[in-house]
Each structure stands twice: as C-alpha cells, then as structure tokens.
Amino acid sequence: MTHTWDPDRYLTYADERGRPFVDLLTRIGATAPRTVVDLGCGPGNLTALLADRWPDADVVGLDSSPEMIASARATEPRVAFDVADLRSWAPPERVDVLVSNATLQWVPGHLDLLPALVGQVAPGGWFAFQVPGNFDEPSHTIRDELAAEAPYAEHTAGVAVPSSHDPAVYLDVLAGLGCRVDAWETTYLHLLTGPDPVFTWVSGTGARPTLQALPDDLRPGFEAEFKRRLAAAYPEHAYGVVLPFRRVFVVAQLASSRDF
C-alpha cells in the first residue's frame, strides 16, 4: 500500500518541526543565489523561509506528495511548487542552493543518492540537509515491536520505515565528493501538550505508513495500544510531555569553478 500524507496533521507541531530547518538554514553561507530548491518541501511553510532569506532567488519546492504540494500552493505564492521524486529529479540547470529537510530518511539507500544530488549543484553552491537520528528511541521501537505482533504483522510487513546515518558517515561521503562539509547533531527536548501528544507527533510522520497499512477493523486497537505504550515511555509531567529528538545536520559547499 502506498501511503499518503496529511498536511494538517503534519503541521500540528509546526514550530517544533520547523526549528531544525531554521538551524540548518543559518549555516548555509550563500549570499545571492539565483536558484534555490527545497527537495521534500512538505506543506511549504518552511520553504517560505527560503524566499524570505533570498528574496531575489527563484525558489522551487518539490515533494512526492500531491497532498503536500496542494497545501503549499494554497499558502505560499512566492514559490513554484511541483510534484517530483527526488530519486529521479533533474533540474534544467545546476542550482545554487539545494536543501532537503527531514526527507532523505524515507529513501532507502540514500547514501548512494548523494553523488547525484551533489551533481545537481553548481560549482561553489550549497547542499544542505537534516534527517532525524532518533530511530532507536521508543517513539520508533514501540511502533516496530507492536507492528510485528499478531494480528498486525501480516499487514505491516514491508511497510515504509525511515532510517538515517550518523553525521560522520555523511561527512565522509560528501568530503569524498570534494565538498567542504560541516556536519553535526543536536538533540531537542520538545515539550508537548495535549492528549496523547507523542502519538499525535508520530502519526503525522514516522508511524503514518504503518497506520495506513492496517485495515479499518484493526487500526483502532493498534492505535489504542500504541498510545498506551507511548504514554508509559513518555510520562506526563506538570509541565507537559518531553520528547527527546535527535537530528543530524549536514551543510556541504561544492568547490568553485576556479578550484577545479
């Protein structure tokens, strides 16, 4: 089953999801790029920050989800949005800034894709991305464990799950491609409120393909048990529920033409 994305659910914690994008953006040193592309732009709320940063650039947002692109087009007129698969994306000419925010983790074997993405960036240009690095946390392991149990396993086998690498792995690959690389990681402590907040978070992203793979008669039971286990793993305090979230960041600058 091919899963779909819900822009409204994804934007439930828009501020928390957006902070890593802002932290990534501040480390990109481009001053006057002509073309800026956001690969995996989602609902476009963060792509708008690229238009704010570089108002004279042609900013393009691409995503494989028609639902996300429809939402983006309805809210941000300064950006040209389109549906595209980053695995086969090829711009008419090399771009000056290529950004991918919380997207590559959904592409199996995405390390092998990095040379092609670097090849779409102009000499002296910038390639920057961030991916979650929290896949050993209960928010993911509980889903995996529950999905492997009966009666769910026969429906969730082979469902899409995200994965990523440590910063040093990305640094090694991109430095080997001749880039100057800045790679780091940050663990955010998101303070969430409301009923079942961690479930609300993961159901909009990492757990969504699993939930959509379940038939209607099984999904409510799965969700109820998932919520129960998440609540035990992430207890509520007087000030809310703390969700630790590790992120991996990479900013790479290509050599300029005079360096070749």
Which helix (DSSP H) or strand (DSSP E) does residue 181 occupy? strand 180-192
Q: What is the pLDDT of residues 98-155, one digit of tens each?
A: 999 999 999 999 999 999 999 999 999 999 999 999 999 999 999 999 999 999 999 9
Average pLDDT taken over every residue of the chain: 92
Assign 1 a pLDDT band (cuts: 50, 70, 90): very low
Confidence check: pLDDT of 164 > 90:
yes
**Angstrom distance (rounded) from CA 98 to CA 136:** 28
Q: Residue 195 domain-assigned?
A: yes
CA 35 to centroid of chain Cα atoms: 21
pLDDT of residue 177: 97
Q: Residue 1 domain-assigned?
A: no
Domain holding 151: CATH number?
3.40.50.150
Q: Residue 93 domain-assigned?
A: yes
Assign 258 a pLDDT band (cuts: 50, 70, 90): very low
pLDDT of residue 204: 82
Tally of domains within the chain: 1
Instruction: Provide the domain limits for residue 240.
Output: 7-259
The arithmetic mean of pLDDT across residues 63-84, rounded, is 94
pLDDT of residue 208: 87
Residue 61 β-bridge partners = 38, 81
By the 8 A CB rule, do 203 and 143 touch?
no
Which two three-digit tokens encode residue 140? Answer: 């993911």
